[in-house]
């Protein structure tokens, strides 16, 4: 599986954008799902559309809406059999960050990963399978320059 993310450059605090999920088989990448989030400023939060995401920063109110598209249209989306994987890592390419590529399996950048709200120790590689221990993995693509996972059911060793 490969997930790409492009920031929508709107300037809101969370940094919403477009996430695209691909299945990978050898050198072939197949797009299976895309979530496109659009953000605008609003005067108030009245009559919000279903699923609207609201943010306030200073005196600005932001409204974000997201659409999900499956490929093909009647497809299941990003359903991945992780039992077929021998490793799993997270990577974010953030051109404005130093370094611009953050990877959970790279000891020099994995400290940008938070697990259970705690930053990974500097110099530690992270095995994502072990880190999430059977919980659903959530990538917080909206927090620029960082990775996050939901609280795990067990403690990290």
Look at phi and psi of residue 22 and say left if phi exceeds 0, alpha if psi is from -120 to 50, else beta: beta
Q: What is the model's pLDDT at position 133? A: 56
Q: What is the model's pLDDT at position 43? A: 97
Across the chain, mean pLDDT equals 77
- Whether the CB-CB separation of 62 and 12 falls below 8 Å is answered with yes
Nearest partner of 36 among 66, 11, 8, judged by Cα: 66
Instruction: Tell me whether the omega of the peptide bond preceding residue 77 falls within 30 degrees of 0, making it cis.
Output: no
Confidence of residue 134 (pLDDT cuts 50, 70, 90): very low
As a whole number of angstroms, the distance between CA 131 and CA 139 comes to: 13
Q: Measured between alpha carbons, how far is residue 5 from residues 8, 74, 83, 139 in Å?
A: 9, 23, 25, 11
**0.75 cut: is pTM over it?**
no
- Whether the CB-CB separation of 89 and 80 falls below 8 Å is answered with no
């Amino acid at each position: 599986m490969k997930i790409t993310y492009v920031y929508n450059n709107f300037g809101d605090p969370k940094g919403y954008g477009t996430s695209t999920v691909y299945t990978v088989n050898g050198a072939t990448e197949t797009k299976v799902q895309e979530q496109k989030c659009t953000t605008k400023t609003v005067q108030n939060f009245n009559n919000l559309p279903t699923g609207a995401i609201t943010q306030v920063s200073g005196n600005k109110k932001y409204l974000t809406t997201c659409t999900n598209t499956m490929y093909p249209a009647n497809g299941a989306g990003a359903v991945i059999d992780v039992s077929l994987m021998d490793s799993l890592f997270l990577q974010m390419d953030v051109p404005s960050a130093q370094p611009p590529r953050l990877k959970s399996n790279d000891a020099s950048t994995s400290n940008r990963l938070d697990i259970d709200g705690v930053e990974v120790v500097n110099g530690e590689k992270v095995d994502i399978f072990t880190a999430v221990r059977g919980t659903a993995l959530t990538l917080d693509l909206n927090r620029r320059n960082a990775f996050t996972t939901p609280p795990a059911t067990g403690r990290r060793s």
